[in-house]
Homo-oligomer: A and B are copies of this chain.
Amino acid sequence: MRDILLELHKSEIQGLLDLSTGAKAIRQAYIAQAQGCVQVPEVTYLGFEKVNGDCHVKSGHIDGTEGFVVKIATGFYNNPSKGLASSNGLNLLFCAKTGQTLALLKDEGWLTDIRTGLGGALTTLALARADFSKVLIVGAGLQAEHQARCLQHLSSDPGITFKIWARRPDQAEQTAQRLRSDGIEASAASDLQEACKQADVIITTTPTKTPLVQSSWVAPGTHITAIGADCPGKQELEADLVLRADLCLCDLAAQSLLHGEFQTAAAAGKLSAKTVIPIGAVLSGDHPGRTNDAQITIADLTGLAVQDAAVSLSVYRAAQTGKPNEGTIT
Protein backbone atom coordinates (compact mmCIF):
# COMPACT_ATOMS: atom_id res chain seq x y z
CA MET A 1 0.00 0.00 0.00
CA ARG A 2 1.29 3.40 -0.89
CA ASP A 3 0.99 5.76 2.00
CA ILE A 4 2.69 8.51 3.90
CA LEU A 5 5.20 6.67 6.04
CA LEU A 6 5.53 9.08 8.88
CA GLU A 7 3.29 11.78 10.30
CA LEU A 8 4.58 13.83 13.16
CA HIS A 9 3.03 16.56 15.27
CA LYS A 10 4.89 19.58 16.57
CA SER A 11 5.64 18.08 19.97
CA GLU A 12 6.98 14.89 18.40
CA ILE A 13 9.14 16.91 16.01
CA GLN A 14 10.49 18.94 18.91
CA GLY A 15 11.50 15.72 20.60
CA LEU A 16 13.32 14.44 17.54
CA LEU A 17 15.37 17.41 16.36
CA ASP A 18 18.74 17.36 18.02
CA LEU A 19 20.19 20.87 17.80
CA SER A 20 23.74 19.77 17.06
CA THR A 21 22.58 17.40 14.34
CA GLY A 22 20.26 20.08 12.98
CA ALA A 23 23.15 22.55 12.90
CA LYS A 24 25.29 20.12 10.89
CA ALA A 25 22.44 19.79 8.42
CA ILE A 26 22.02 23.57 8.16
CA ARG A 27 25.77 23.97 7.63
CA GLN A 28 25.57 21.46 4.79
CA ALA A 29 22.61 23.36 3.34
CA TYR A 30 24.46 26.70 3.35
CA ILE A 31 27.51 25.15 1.72
CA ALA A 32 25.46 23.33 -0.91
CA GLN A 33 23.57 26.55 -1.67
CA ALA A 34 26.84 28.48 -2.07
CA GLN A 35 28.24 25.78 -4.35
CA GLY A 36 25.09 25.59 -6.45
CA CYS A 37 24.49 21.94 -5.54
CA VAL A 38 20.80 22.54 -4.85
CA GLN A 39 17.42 22.85 -6.48
CA VAL A 40 15.45 25.83 -5.21
CA PRO A 41 12.54 26.75 -7.47
CA GLU A 42 10.95 30.17 -7.17
CA VAL A 43 8.80 30.65 -4.09
CA THR A 44 5.08 30.41 -4.86
CA TYR A 45 2.86 33.11 -3.40
CA LEU A 46 -0.89 33.37 -2.93
CA GLY A 47 -2.43 36.48 -1.40
CA PHE A 48 -5.76 36.95 0.39
CA GLU A 49 -6.01 40.71 0.80
CA LYS A 50 -9.52 40.89 2.22
CA VAL A 51 -8.53 38.83 5.24
CA ASN A 52 -4.94 40.08 5.45
CA GLY A 53 -3.49 36.68 4.66
CA ASP A 54 -0.89 35.04 2.47
CA CYS A 55 0.63 31.68 1.66
CA HIS A 56 4.17 30.87 0.58
CA VAL A 57 5.12 27.53 -0.88
CA LYS A 58 8.83 26.79 -0.88
CA SER A 59 10.49 23.69 -2.23
CA GLY A 60 14.08 22.59 -2.24
CA HIS A 61 16.54 19.75 -2.55
CA ILE A 62 20.21 19.41 -1.69
CA ASP A 63 21.87 17.33 -4.41
CA GLY A 64 22.61 13.81 -3.26
CA THR A 65 20.37 13.82 -0.19
CA GLU A 66 17.57 11.31 0.11
CA GLY A 67 14.68 13.73 0.31
CA PHE A 68 13.30 16.98 -1.02
CA VAL A 69 10.91 19.24 0.84
CA VAL A 70 7.78 21.20 0.01
CA LYS A 71 6.97 23.68 2.77
CA ILE A 72 3.67 25.47 2.98
CA ALA A 73 3.56 28.45 5.31
CA THR A 74 0.54 30.66 5.82
CA GLY A 75 0.23 33.97 7.63
CA PHE A 76 -3.27 35.29 8.26
CA TYR A 77 -2.78 38.34 10.38
CA ASN A 78 -6.40 38.86 11.48
CA ASN A 79 -6.40 35.40 13.09
CA PRO A 80 -5.53 36.53 16.63
CA SER A 81 -8.85 38.42 16.78
CA LYS A 82 -10.51 35.01 16.29
CA GLY A 83 -8.36 33.36 18.92
CA LEU A 84 -6.23 31.63 16.28
CA ALA A 85 -2.50 31.79 15.64
CA SER A 86 -1.45 33.95 12.69
CA SER A 87 1.00 31.43 11.31
CA ASN A 88 0.40 27.90 10.20
CA GLY A 89 2.54 25.58 8.22
CA LEU A 90 3.77 22.15 7.49
CA ASN A 91 6.68 20.45 5.78
CA LEU A 92 6.31 17.56 3.41
CA LEU A 93 9.33 15.39 2.74
CA PHE A 94 9.51 13.28 -0.41
CA CYS A 95 11.94 10.58 -1.46
CA ALA A 96 14.33 11.90 -4.11
CA LYS A 97 14.67 8.41 -5.60
CA THR A 98 11.02 7.35 -5.89
CA GLY A 99 8.90 10.46 -5.29
CA GLN A 100 7.07 8.73 -2.46
CA THR A 101 5.98 10.77 0.52
CA LEU A 102 8.41 10.11 3.37
CA ALA A 103 7.05 12.38 6.07
CA LEU A 104 4.39 14.91 6.85
CA LEU A 105 5.73 17.22 9.52
CA LYS A 106 2.90 19.20 11.11
CA ASP A 107 5.33 21.55 12.74
CA GLU A 108 3.06 24.65 12.77
CA GLY A 109 6.04 26.74 11.70
CA TRP A 110 8.34 25.53 14.47
CA LEU A 111 10.92 24.03 12.09
CA THR A 112 11.19 27.36 10.29
CA ASP A 113 11.83 29.10 13.60
CA ILE A 114 14.51 26.59 14.56
CA ARG A 115 16.29 26.50 11.22
CA THR A 116 16.38 30.30 11.35
CA GLY A 117 17.81 30.12 14.87
CA LEU A 118 20.42 27.56 13.86
CA GLY A 119 21.31 29.41 10.67
CA GLY A 120 21.79 32.63 12.66
CA ALA A 121 23.92 30.90 15.28
CA LEU A 122 26.15 29.20 12.69
CA THR A 123 26.56 32.50 10.88
CA THR A 124 27.36 34.41 14.05
CA LEU A 125 29.93 31.84 15.14
CA ALA A 126 31.57 31.87 11.71
CA LEU A 127 31.90 35.65 11.49
CA ALA A 128 32.25 37.02 15.02
CA ARG A 129 35.68 37.63 16.53
CA ALA A 130 37.14 34.53 18.16
CA ASP A 131 37.03 36.26 21.56
CA PHE A 132 33.47 37.55 21.35
CA SER A 133 31.40 37.34 24.51
CA LYS A 134 28.91 40.23 24.60
CA VAL A 135 25.88 39.57 22.41
CA LEU A 136 23.11 42.12 21.94
CA ILE A 137 19.82 40.88 20.58
CA VAL A 138 17.53 43.54 19.14
CA GLY A 139 13.93 42.46 19.50
CA ALA A 140 12.30 40.28 22.12
CA GLY A 141 10.10 37.97 20.09
CA LEU A 142 10.29 34.28 19.47
CA GLN A 143 13.26 34.58 17.11
CA ALA A 144 15.22 36.62 19.66
CA GLU A 145 14.97 33.66 22.00
CA HIS A 146 15.83 31.11 19.32
CA GLN A 147 18.94 33.07 18.33
CA ALA A 148 20.13 33.19 21.94
CA ARG A 149 19.41 29.53 22.67
CA CYS A 150 20.93 28.22 19.44
CA LEU A 151 24.03 30.39 19.77
CA GLN A 152 24.53 29.33 23.39
CA HIS A 153 24.03 25.69 22.44
CA LEU A 154 26.41 25.69 19.48
CA SER A 155 29.10 27.74 21.16
CA SER A 156 31.58 25.87 23.30
CA ASP A 157 32.15 29.08 25.26
CA PRO A 158 30.26 29.24 28.56
CA GLY A 159 31.08 32.93 28.99
CA ILE A 160 28.59 34.48 26.55
CA THR A 161 26.36 37.18 28.00
CA PHE A 162 23.20 38.25 26.24
CA LYS A 163 21.57 41.66 26.35
CA ILE A 164 18.01 41.92 25.05
CA TRP A 165 16.69 45.24 23.80
CA ALA A 166 13.11 45.83 22.67
CA ARG A 167 10.89 48.85 22.17
CA ARG A 168 8.87 47.59 25.11
CA PRO A 169 11.29 47.15 28.05
CA ASP A 170 8.90 44.74 29.80
CA GLN A 171 9.09 42.33 26.87
CA ALA A 172 12.89 42.52 26.85
CA GLU A 173 12.89 41.71 30.56
CA GLN A 174 10.49 38.78 30.09
CA THR A 175 12.62 37.29 27.32
CA ALA A 176 15.77 37.72 29.41
CA GLN A 177 14.03 36.04 32.32
CA ARG A 178 13.03 33.05 30.21
CA LEU A 179 16.60 32.67 28.99
CA ARG A 180 17.96 32.96 32.54
CA SER A 181 15.57 30.28 33.70
CA ASP A 182 17.33 27.96 31.24
CA GLY A 183 20.75 28.87 32.59
CA ILE A 184 21.64 31.42 29.91
CA GLU A 185 23.21 34.65 31.18
CA ALA A 186 20.81 37.30 29.90
CA SER A 187 19.51 40.70 30.94
CA ALA A 188 17.46 43.48 29.43
CA ALA A 189 19.17 46.53 27.94
CA SER A 190 17.44 49.87 28.42
CA ASP A 191 19.54 51.99 26.06
CA LEU A 192 19.98 50.65 22.53
CA GLN A 193 22.81 53.05 21.66
CA GLU A 194 24.85 52.09 24.71
CA ALA A 195 24.11 48.41 24.21
CA CYS A 196 25.28 48.54 20.59
CA LYS A 197 28.52 50.27 21.58
CA GLN A 198 29.36 47.54 24.07
CA ALA A 199 28.40 44.58 21.92
CA ASP A 200 30.81 42.24 20.15
CA VAL A 201 27.87 40.73 18.29
CA ILE A 202 24.52 42.29 17.39
CA ILE A 203 21.65 40.08 16.24
CA THR A 204 18.61 41.92 14.91
CA THR A 205 15.25 40.14 14.88
CA THR A 206 12.60 42.83 14.37
CA PRO A 207 10.14 43.59 11.55
CA THR A 208 10.95 47.31 11.67
CA LYS A 209 10.73 49.56 8.64
CA THR A 210 12.68 52.32 10.41
CA PRO A 211 16.32 51.33 10.92
CA LEU A 212 17.13 50.85 14.61
CA VAL A 213 20.90 50.36 14.67
CA GLN A 214 22.90 53.44 13.70
CA SER A 215 26.36 53.23 12.21
CA SER A 216 27.95 55.55 14.80
CA TRP A 217 26.87 53.21 17.59
CA VAL A 218 28.74 50.21 16.22
CA ALA A 219 32.35 49.64 17.30
CA PRO A 220 35.06 48.25 15.02
CA GLY A 221 35.25 44.48 15.26
CA THR A 222 31.51 44.03 15.65
CA HIS A 223 29.69 41.28 13.81
CA ILE A 224 26.01 41.76 12.99
CA THR A 225 23.57 39.01 12.03
CA ALA A 226 20.42 40.58 10.57
CA ILE A 227 17.36 38.31 10.63
CA GLY A 228 14.33 40.58 10.54
CA ALA A 229 14.15 42.15 7.08
CA ASP A 230 12.31 39.81 4.73
CA CYS A 231 10.25 42.01 2.42
CA PRO A 232 10.55 45.30 0.58
CA GLY A 233 10.54 48.19 3.05
CA LYS A 234 11.85 46.34 6.08
CA GLN A 235 15.29 47.47 7.30
CA GLU A 236 16.93 47.13 10.72
CA LEU A 237 20.34 48.71 10.09
CA GLU A 238 21.10 52.27 9.04
CA ALA A 239 22.12 52.28 5.37
CA ASP A 240 25.48 53.89 6.23
CA LEU A 241 26.31 50.95 8.47
CA VAL A 242 25.91 48.50 5.60
CA LEU A 243 28.16 50.66 3.42
CA ARG A 244 30.73 50.91 6.22
CA ALA A 245 30.96 47.15 6.73
CA ASP A 246 34.17 45.42 5.64
CA LEU A 247 32.27 42.29 4.69
CA CYS A 248 28.64 41.85 3.68
CA LEU A 249 27.41 38.27 3.60
CA CYS A 250 24.08 36.59 3.06
CA ASP A 251 22.42 33.21 2.58
CA LEU A 252 20.93 34.04 -0.83
CA ALA A 253 21.87 37.19 -2.73
CA ALA A 254 18.77 37.17 -4.94
CA GLN A 255 16.59 37.49 -1.84
CA SER A 256 18.84 39.65 0.29
CA LEU A 257 19.42 42.30 -2.35
CA LEU A 258 15.77 42.42 -3.36
CA HIS A 259 13.85 42.25 -0.10
CA GLY A 260 16.35 41.63 2.71
CA GLU A 261 18.56 43.93 4.76
CA PHE A 262 20.71 44.82 1.75
CA GLN A 263 17.84 46.10 -0.42
CA THR A 264 18.62 49.79 0.09
CA ALA A 265 22.34 49.40 -0.56
CA ALA A 266 21.58 47.28 -3.62
CA ALA A 267 19.04 49.78 -4.96
CA ALA A 268 21.70 52.49 -4.62
CA GLY A 269 24.09 50.35 -6.63
CA LYS A 270 26.47 49.91 -3.69
CA LEU A 271 26.04 46.15 -3.29
CA SER A 272 25.50 43.39 -5.82
CA ALA A 273 25.50 39.62 -6.10
CA LYS A 274 29.20 39.93 -6.98
CA THR A 275 30.17 41.80 -3.81
CA VAL A 276 27.99 40.01 -1.25
CA ILE A 277 29.63 36.82 0.01
CA PRO A 278 27.64 33.61 0.48
CA ILE A 279 27.74 32.43 4.08
CA GLY A 280 28.25 28.92 2.78
CA ALA A 281 31.55 29.99 1.19
CA VAL A 282 32.85 31.01 4.61
CA LEU A 283 31.55 27.83 6.24
CA SER A 284 33.26 25.68 3.58
CA GLY A 285 36.53 27.62 3.81
CA ASP A 286 36.31 28.82 0.22
CA HIS A 287 36.22 32.40 1.55
CA PRO A 288 38.30 33.45 4.57
CA GLY A 289 35.50 35.49 6.16
CA ARG A 290 36.74 37.84 8.87
CA THR A 291 40.50 38.36 8.61
CA ASN A 292 41.13 40.71 11.53
CA ASP A 293 39.55 41.83 14.78
CA ALA A 294 38.80 45.37 13.61
CA GLN A 295 36.53 44.44 10.72
CA ILE A 296 32.82 45.04 10.81
CA THR A 297 30.94 42.11 9.28
CA ILE A 298 27.25 42.01 8.46
CA ALA A 299 25.36 38.87 7.49
CA ASP A 300 21.78 39.07 6.28
CA LEU A 301 19.58 35.99 6.46
CA THR A 302 16.35 35.66 4.54
CA GLY A 303 16.02 31.89 4.76
CA LEU A 304 16.56 29.02 2.34
CA ALA A 305 14.26 26.25 1.23
CA VAL A 306 17.24 23.90 1.54
CA GLN A 307 17.37 24.77 5.25
CA ASP A 308 13.82 23.45 5.44
CA ALA A 309 14.91 20.35 3.55
CA ALA A 310 17.89 19.93 5.89
CA VAL A 311 15.96 20.10 9.17
CA SER A 312 13.10 18.01 7.80
CA LEU A 313 15.60 15.32 6.84
CA SER A 314 17.18 15.52 10.30
CA VAL A 315 13.81 14.90 11.93
CA TYR A 316 13.03 12.09 9.50
CA ARG A 317 16.36 10.36 10.10
CA ALA A 318 15.97 10.67 13.87
CA ALA A 319 12.51 9.13 13.66
CA GLN A 320 13.80 6.30 11.48
CA THR A 321 16.79 5.45 13.65
CA GLY A 322 15.08 6.12 16.95
CA LYS A 323 18.28 7.77 18.05
CA PRO A 324 18.32 9.35 21.49
CA ASN A 325 18.02 13.05 21.30
CA GLU A 326 19.86 15.67 23.28
CA GLY A 327 19.81 19.42 23.17
CA THR A 328 16.22 19.83 22.16
CA ILE A 329 14.65 23.20 22.72
CA THR A 330 11.08 24.22 22.31
The chain B residue with its CB closest to the CB of A68 is: B46
Q: A98 to chain B: which residues have CB within 8 Å?
A: 51, 53, 76, 79, 82, 84, 88
Contact with A48, one of B9, B46, B51, B96 (Cβ below 8 angstroms)? B96
Indicate whether A41 sits within 8 Å of B48 (C-beta atoms), given known contacts A3-B9, A76-B99, A98-B84. Answer: no
B55 touches A68 (CB 8 A): yes
State whether the Cβ of A321 lies closer than 8 Å to any Cβ in chain B.
Answer: no
Q: Of A100-108, A212-220, A280-288, which stretch is located at the interface?
A: A100-108
Q: Tell me the complex Cα distance, A108–B101, Å.
A: 10
If A3-B9, A46-B61 touch, does A79 touch B99 (CB 8 Å cutoff)?
yes
Interface positions, chain A 9-49, Cβ under 8 Å from B, are 9, 39, 41-42, 44-48
Residue in contact with A92 in the complex, picked from B39, B51, B61, B72, CB distance below 8 Å = B72
Least CB separation from A75: chain B residue: B99
Asked whether A2 lies within 8 Å of B59 as measured between CB atoms, the reply is: no
Q: Which of A100-126 contact B (CB under 8 A)?
A: 100-101, 104, 106, 108
| Distance of A230 from chain B, by nearest CB (Å) | 17
Contacts of A154 in B (CB 8 A): none
Say yes or no: B85 contacts A51, CB within 8 Å.
Answer: no
Residue numbers in B under 8 Å from A147 (CB-CB): none
Cα–Cα, bound, A84→B2 (Å): 8
Closest to A69 in B: B46
Residues in B with CB closer than 8 Å to A44 are 41-42, 44, 57, 59
Contact of A99 among B9, B55, B96 (CB under 8 A): B55
**Across the interface, do A46 and B39 meet the contact criterion of CB distance under 8 Å?**
yes
Q: Which chain B residue has the least Cβ–Cβ distance from A108?
A: B2
Residue among B39, B51, B101, B104 making CB contact with A47, cutoff 8 Å: B39
A45, closest chain B residue (CB): B41
Interface string of A204-236 (1 = CB under 8 A from B): 000000000000000000000000000000000
Tell me if A74 counts as interface (CB < 8 A to partner B). yes
- Taken residue by residue from 70 to 98, chain A's Cβ proximity to chain B (1 for < 8 Å, 0 otherwise) reads as 10101110010010110110101010111
Shortest distance between the CB of A106 and any CB in chain B (Å): 6
Interface check A243, CB cutoff 8 A: no
A267 adjacent to chain B (CB < 8 Å): no
A273 at the interface (CB under 8 A from B): no
Q: How far is the CB of A79 from the nearest CB of chain B, in Å?
A: 6
Given A84-B98, A99-B79, A100-B88, do A70 and B72 touch, yes or no (CB 8 Å)? yes
Given contacts A44-B44, A61-B46, contact A101 B94 (CB under 8 A): no
A53-B96, A57-B59 given. 10 additional CB < 8 A pairs?
A41-B57, A44-B57, A46-B61, A46-B68, A48-B96, A72-B92, A79-B99, A84-B100, A87-B99, A101-B106
A-B contact pairs, 5 of them (CB 8 A): A2-B85, A48-B97, A53-B97, A55-B70, A88-B100
Shortest 6 CB-CB contacts between residues of A and residues of B: A74-B99, A76-B99, A41-B44, A88-B99, A76-B98, A39-B46
